[in-house]
């Protein structure tokens, strides 16, 4: 997985550029953790303590991170909840509306994800 880190001096915002299929990882890191080095340290500690057989779940504000058999699945909460009432669901069906799931989830290996987190942590704490 290739990535580049950015820092906007005028807005003092950190950013992360990833391939389009992994862009949700960038959104996850920026929106859930921003430049909070201690929160990333805690996440890294939990992830590095996992064995290949372990299952683990992190519920963020907008995202769910799941680890199963050394594979990471990151999903936006909108993919996990179907709270629409029956009448709302019928209206969606009638209007042929669907949730665009593109860019709302991705998979990657745990090792790659941990490396990304370590590099991100180093970047924001320098």
Predicted confidence (pLDDT) at residue 109 exceeds the cutoff of 90: yes
The chain-wide mean pLDDT, for the chain, equals 84
Nearest to 37 by CA among 103, 126, 124: 124
Predicted confidence (pLDDT) at residue 115 exceeds the cutoff of 60: yes
Place of tokens 């500690």: 45
Predicted confidence (pLDDT) at residue 92 exceeds the cutoff of 90: no
Full domain range(s) for residue 33: 3-125
- Region 11-31 average pLDDT: 91
Residue 114 is inside which H or E element, if any? Answer: helix 110-125
pTM across the whole model: 0.78
By CB atoms closer than 10 A (0-12, 13-18, 19+), residue 26 is buried
Share of the chain above pLDDT 70, in %: 80
By CB atoms closer than 10 A (0-12, 13-18, 19+), residue 33 is buried
pLDDT single digits (tens) 39-89: 999 999 999 999 989 999 999 998 999 999 999 999 988 766 554 445 555
Place of tokens 């990333």: 40
Number of domains in the chain: 1
- Region 19-45 average pLDDT: 90
């Amino acid at each position: 997985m290739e990535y580049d880190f950015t820092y906007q001096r005028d807005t003092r915002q950190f950013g992360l550029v990833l391939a389009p299929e992994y862009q949700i990882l960038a959104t996850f890191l920026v929106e859930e953790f921003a430049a909070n080095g201690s929160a990333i340290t805690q996440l890294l500690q939990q992830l590095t303590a996992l064995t290949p057989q372990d299952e683990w779940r992190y519920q963020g504000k907008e995202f769910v991170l799941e680890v199963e058999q050394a594979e990471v699945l990151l999903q936006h909460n909108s993919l996990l909840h179907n709270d629409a009432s029956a009448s709302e669901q019928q209206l969606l069906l009638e209007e042929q509306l669907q949730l665009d799931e593109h860019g709302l989830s991705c998979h990657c290996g745990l090792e790659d994800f941990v490396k990304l987190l370590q590099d991100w942590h180093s970047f924001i704490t320098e």
